[in-house]
A and B are shown apart, each in its own frame.
Chain A
């Protein structure tokens, strides 16, 4: 039912979504923490910047990334100088583009979770001799567990579902940048509705099951 090309596209999609989600956890957590805690006047501009991919059409983001990654763009010039070559139409380029595109879906839930903790548990930890990093690891992280689950699921699912940015920046190269959403598009264009159904239906069931698992296993909000 699924062709080798379909399976390759599926594998690439999972690889991309996993990489993007993990990288966004690493880079997004400090940003979300800063946004949740800081009283700096740069907080609002940064919040707006982080939320920008929510409102921009993916083609706008993809277009500017394509220009930036290109031989005369700032990032393209840099990557060429470093001997990496150009990022457009490569998997790393796709990862960077997807990170920007999915960023608000990871940072926003983390920020909400950090804000929901409030100052008090951290102050309590401070009076119990926990330093700043210790407080973050031993109190803030476990208390915002739900936020991390939500952020991970949304970031992953959103990356799986992206189409516009991928098409603009990655094109349609098998094994390298052809993800499931693009593969489905190809099937439809070639009037291969049966294969399109198999992939699209599979994706739908997968997404539903992931969300069901999240909602089913999350403990109800505890009162404390």
Chain B
């Protein structure tokens, strides 16, 4: 049985044409990443059935929601989706509890979900008797997410749920989204134009660029693709999924393992076996030909050069490296590339100056 989410949408607006043809995994979070006006929201609305795109096709597993060749169009209220809109859209005439119950009741109070668990996970237990007007923007958005989950959706659609919030509120909600990702089995499509959010949450990345070429694939290899570097122009870098391996309390360090290497970071509170996602910016990676003997940098590993690309600045190049199963990007100067006589296949030592924890 085919369990993927299939979406085929010929999106047409004035001066805008995008032929989306996506097959997304039914596990984890898929991010739709692209600049504003690239059709991300139109795509989500069509999947939810809020808009009917001519000649569109939407199916989740064996359940077809739209197929204009037959023609089939299941109205929005008969699709098991949870939709979280960009701006918190709680019903102003209902309390938080009643808001949560709205979809829960209409979905027939499904037994497959755990309402107290959802309330607990999103930290809204103390807000239940409040009115939406009495909540902060971040609290409203958490309630909106919980409300969407309460109807036991087969697919959760998140349309830039953090875009309307200031950075402090964003930081407040991101951990909840990360918990959602770790604890829930429901697949989600997350629309965003913020690479930081995507790097933290997504497992699968769909890149909607200026052109009509849509790229799609698992997050880590996508981020390390040189041909896509232009899309992440402001901040190229990779994401590595690590596991806490050991703690060193003398030096206050923790060792994190990942396929192809290990990272030493300042002592983490998490126990061994805990998974942590780190982002390594290309600007924090430097290369040497010989193993650095006397260096203050802790994280040094062997890797092979597998390619290079130009950057916005003529002085710099983006170099792709393979360390075991993990791909890395380094931003080095053109002069260094020449003086080290680098080329594809050359073995180098990689020095990672810092890695940023993602939630």
Contact = CB atoms under 8 A, between A and B. Distances in A.
Given A139-B91, A143-B92, A224-B90, A127 B148 contact: yes
B48 A128 contact: no
B93 A142 contact: yes
B144 to A, nearest CB: 8
- Among B48, B50, B90, B147, max chain A CB count under 10 A is at B50
Contacts of B148: 127-128
A129 B91 contact: no
Interface string B79-111: 101110101011111000000001100110000
B358 interface: no
Contacts of B132: 224
Contacts of B355: none
B89 A120 contact: yes
Contact of B48 (A120, A127, A224): A127
A130 B133 contact: no
B243 interface: no
Interface residues of A, number: 22
**In the complex, which range does the number of interface residues on chain B fall in?**
20 to 34
Contacts of B81: 127
B77 interface: yes
A132 to B, nearest CB: 8
Contacts of B91: 121, 124-125, 139, 143
Contact of A129 (B85, B87, B89, B103): B103
A127 B82 contact: yes
B76 interface: yes
Contacts, number: 69
A125 B48 CA distance: 12
Given A123-B50, A124-B85, A224-B133, A130 B77 contact: yes
B66 interface: no
A56 to B, nearest CB: 37
Contact of B102 (A120, A123, A128): A128
B151 interface: yes
A128 B147 contact: yes
A222 B92 CA distance: 9
A217 interface: no
A126 B77 contact: yes
A121 B50 contact: no
Interface string A118-149: 00110111111111101100110011010000
Contacts of A224: 90, 92, 132-133
A125 to B, nearest CB: 7
A132 B49 CA distance: 13
Nearest to B147: A128
Contacts of A125: 77, 91, 102
Interface of B: 48-50, 75-79, 81-83, 85, 87, 89-93, 102-103, 106-107, 132-133, 147-148, 151
Given A125-B91, A129-B107, 19 more contacts: A120-B87, A123-B85, A126-B75, A126-B76, A126-B77, A127-B50, A127-B76, A127-B79, A127-B81, A127-B82, A127-B103, A128-B106, A128-B148, A129-B78, A129-B103, A132-B77, A134-B77, A139-B91, A224-B90
